[in-house]
């Protein structure tokens, strides 16, 4: 496999036509694969990230998020395919020659150096004049609300403050694309939520493109304009948080994003009104039929916990409900979670916001569960 960075025979990058460079994509990933020996870290991935977008890569450990980010930043070379930044092919361009900057999964700050020197490091390496460095360090620390911390050593800071230093260091060059690899991963929940707010504020005020890696679906939902859900080197679905949450296209996405009942089943009927019936282990679900669906086709269906209501009218005959016994009731603060089991042995979970009716239901009770066909997703893969 040739490596475009070290392969001297690679022709120089051809300057793109101006109309390409002024296009709306900040980053274009074209047919990119990456192999580490036998391991396929990314398998023929293509997509675009718009200028100024807050774009998240979401997926489980080992799915290829860091590898993709490192290739955009120039720390890793694609085995195949192209990455364009602002319309220009990046092949052969080292990290410092790209309009990107990266916050690494493990912050990579210099622990014994001061906050000031950590933030100034990149500019000093570029031999920028001292007074300009001072001005930029001051601005960057102000941006992340660490004014007055310049003299502190890194190992005298809290986790959240270290994150801010890493952000200031990445922002000091005003990169057009900021690459953030699980920047909040090591923080406790309280601080994590606070830093999510800070990041959103920074993104709004700076207007740069943010590419944010996380394995936390709630975080991706809360922060992003669009999300790419990844698994095993593939991108399974790209969309707005609403798209991904409400219309997952695969079983993996439905399972990974949100709290969802997922069942394997078989299509038993397709109606003229665009609805269909899917039978899953003795329970029938009425759903909106995707185009091209056939009777007898094996599919999975997904219905979110909060879309299964507890006190709805019983409609098991037409596939919009069933009766079940509560096996476990949990109080989750703003709502109750009921785990139930039907007479056929199908386990269904229902999240119900606090109401007097929900309060009265106890473990062992028989309840009527109901759902709307529009809330049941048919998953073809």
Ligand X SMILES: Nc1ncnc2c1ncn2[C@@H]1O[C@H](COP(=O)(O)OP(=O)(O)OP(=O)(O)O)[C@@H](O)[C@H]1O
Binding site for ligand X (CB under 6 A): 36, 39, 41, 59, 61-67, 105, 215
CB of 259 to ligand X, least distance (A): 21
Phi, psi of 86 (to 5 degrees): 50, 40
Counting residues that bind Mg ion (by CB under 5 A) gives 1
The Cα–Cα gap between 176 and 44 comes to: 25
CB of 253 to ligand X, least distance (A): 16
The Cα–Cα gap between 171 and 202 comes to: 10
**Mapped to the 3 state alphabet, what secondary structure does 147-198 carry?**
CCCCCCEHHHCCHHHHHHHHHHHHHCCCCCEEEEECCCCCCCHHHHHHHHHH
**Choosing among Mg ion, ligand X, none, which partner's interface includes residue 378 (Cβ < 5 to 8 Å by kind)?**
none
- DSSP β-bridge partners for residue 222: none
The Cα–Cα gap between 82 and 75 comes to: 14
Instruction: Rank residues 69 and 301 by Cβ distance to Mg ion and give the closer one.
Output: 69
- Residue 261 interacts with Mg ion (CB under 5 A)? no
Stretch that binds Mg ion, among 66-74, 141-149, 152-160, 164-172 (CB under 5 A): 66-74
**Choosing among Mg ion, ligand X, none, which partner's interface includes residue 36 (Cβ < 5 to 8 Å by kind)?**
ligand X
Instruction: Rank residues 9 and 61 by Cβ distance to Mg ion and give the closer one.
Output: 61
Residues numbered 168 to 207 that lie near Mg ion (CB under 5 A) are none
Instruction: Rank residues 68 and 133 by Cβ distance to Mg ion and give the closer one.
Output: 68
**Choosing among ligand X, Mg ion, none, which partner's interface includes residue 67 (Cβ < 5 to 8 Å by kind)?**
ligand X
CB of 71 to ligand X, least distance (A): 10
Phi, psi of 61 (to 5 degrees): -55, 135
- Assess contact for 86 and 21: CB atoms under 8 A: yes
Question: Which residue's beta carbon is nearest to the bound Mg ion?
Answer: 66
Place of tokens 């190992």: 155
CB of 65 to ligand X, least distance (A): 4
- Residue 79 interacts with Mg ion (CB under 5 A)? no
Q: What is the side-by-side order of every strand in the sheet holding 25-36?
A: 39-50, 25-36, 80-85, 88-89
Instruction: Rank residues 31 and 264 by Cβ distance to ligand X and give the closer one.
Output: 31
Dmax of the chain from CA atoms? 77
- Residue 66 interacts with Mg ion (CB under 5 A)? yes
């Amino acid at each position: 496999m040739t490596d475009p960075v070290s392969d001297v025979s690679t022709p120089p990058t051809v300057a793109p036509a101006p109309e390409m460079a002024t296009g709306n994509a900040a980053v274009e990933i074209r047919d990119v694969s990456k192999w580490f020996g036998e391991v396929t870290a990314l398998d023929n991935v293509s997509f675009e990230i718009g200028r100024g977008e807050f774009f998240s890569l979401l997926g489980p450990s080992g799915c290829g998020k860091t590898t993709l980010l490192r290739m955009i930043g120039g720390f890793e070379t694609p085995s195949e395919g192209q990455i364009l930044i602002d319309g220009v092919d990046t092949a052969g361009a080292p990290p410092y020659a790209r309009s990107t900057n990266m916050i690494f999964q493990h912050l990579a700050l210099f622990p014994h150096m001061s906050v000031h020197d950590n933030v100034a490091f990149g500019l000093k390496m570029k031999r920028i004049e001292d007074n300009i460095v001072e001005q930029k360090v001051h601005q960057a620390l102000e941006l992340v609300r660490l004014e007055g911390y310049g003299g502190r050593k890194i190992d005298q800071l809290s986790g959240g403050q270290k994150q801010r230093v890493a952000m200031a260091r990445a922002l000091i060059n005003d990169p057009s694309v900021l690459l953030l690899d699980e920047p909040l991963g090591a923080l406790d929940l309280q601080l994590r939520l606070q830093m999510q707010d800070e990041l959103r504020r920074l993104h709004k005020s700076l207007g740069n493109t943010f590419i944010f890696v996380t394995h936390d679906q709630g975080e991706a939902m809360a922060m992003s304009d669009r999300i790419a859900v990844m698994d095993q080197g593939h991108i399974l679905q790209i969309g707005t948080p609403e798209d991904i949450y409400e219309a997952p296209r695969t079983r993996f996405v439905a399972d990974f994003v949100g709290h969802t009942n997922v069942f394997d089943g078989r299509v038993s009927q397709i109606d003229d009104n665009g609805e269909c019936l899917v039978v899953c282990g003795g329970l029938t679900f009425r759903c909106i039929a995707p185009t091209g669906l056939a009777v007898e086709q094996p599919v999975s269906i997904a219905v979110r916990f909060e879309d299964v209501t507890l006190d709805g009218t019983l409609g098991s005959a037409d596939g919009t409900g069933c009766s079940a016994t509560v096996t476990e009731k949990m109080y989750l603060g703003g709502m109750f979670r009921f785990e139930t089991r039907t007479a056929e042995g199908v386990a269904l979970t229902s999240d119900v916001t606090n109401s007097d009716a929900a309060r009265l239901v106890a473990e062992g009770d028989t309840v009527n569960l109901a759902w709307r066909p529009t809330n049941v997703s048919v998953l073809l893969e």
